[in-house]
Structure 1
Amino acid sequence: MREETRAARQDQIEQAAYAVLEEKGYAATSMLAIAKRARASNETLYNWYGDKTGLFRALVMRNADTVRSLLEDSLASGAPPLETLRVLGPQLLTLLISPRAVQLNRAAAADPTGELGAVIAERGRESVAPLIGEVLVRAKAEGLIEFEEVGDAIGLYLDLLVGDLQIRRVIGRQPPLDEAAIAARAERALQRFLRLSRQ
């Protein structure tokens, strides 16, 4: 199968997975139901993703790809750490409150097995946070910020950026933010983080 054809089929399968997830919840979502919705063979899904956990792991990874790539590219190129944080903030916040992220988190909250929540943690925060940590360590090395424990610094930055916004989106108490509101919140979070990290 040609690469572009496979990419298009994967996109159809993943859209179908979100649709079935919304209708049935994670526990009741099956590979067969997703295959039928995508008009794909069950065998194709198992060949490409392994199992349901593998498919949803791929969804979470794809959801976080832009942010992870930005951090990896910035670290590889030696980009100024504060500029990396300035660009990262809006993209990370957009990711975390996106309709797909909200849908995945709602499904994880309703999943009695805890399986989807584990996948989200593994492929979401647990893969992105260490990269944020590397950016913060570079900022510290350049004398731009100060902290004792990198984990505390990561937590402070994410708390300022996200706070309870994601959970309020998940429970339906926060309407979507537009691009300007996201950019403004991300810049405020960065400035507060810098003030607190220079005290």
Structure 2
Amino acid sequence: MFVPLWGLMVYLLYTPRRVNCPNCGVRVEAIPWAQGKSPLTTAMMCFLATWAKRLPWRDVGRAFGVSWDYVYKAVAWAVEYGLLHQDLSGINAIGVDEIAHKKGHKFLTLVYQIDAGCRRLLWIGEGHTQKTLEGFFTWFGKHRSAALKFVCSDMWKGYLKVIRRRAQGALHILDRFH
């Protein structure tokens, strides 16, 4: 399935060639416009993932004639691609915050890049503990952590301790919204 053109669904029908090599065994031709045996082209996965940022996934599926499962797979592919090609160089400022994601006290810790020219989510950790934020700094690495110039967070003591220990050279800015 390819990206719709003028509201019309576009399908590419192609049978990949199978080769029986005496040295390698049976091989199937790689298709440059799709990943493995996926019925969605790479362009269609990008298209669906982009729309999924703006609309509920069910609505994206209905609008473009695909199942919720295809939208999910497109988003999962986009996230995996983004993580594999993520550039973490030049990050000078980060923001740390938490959000409640379930009833009760179930939190996620979020770390954002908040540089002037780039604002993006860098990392998500389960929980609102010192260990969770330690996990971010371990993932981020000592060299990049030492290069941070600014860290913005709330005044929770657990965050303060970890930031003081892991980003010693950074100016710690307390978040005015807490």
TM-score category of the 2 structures, normalised to the smaller one: 0.3 to 0.5
In our comparison, the structure showing a higher alpha carbon Rg is 2
Normalised by the length of structure 1, the TM-score is 0.33
More RCO (CA 8 Å, sep 6+):
1
Normalised by the length of structure 2, the TM-score is 0.35
Q: Give the strand-richer structure, 1 or 2.
A: 2
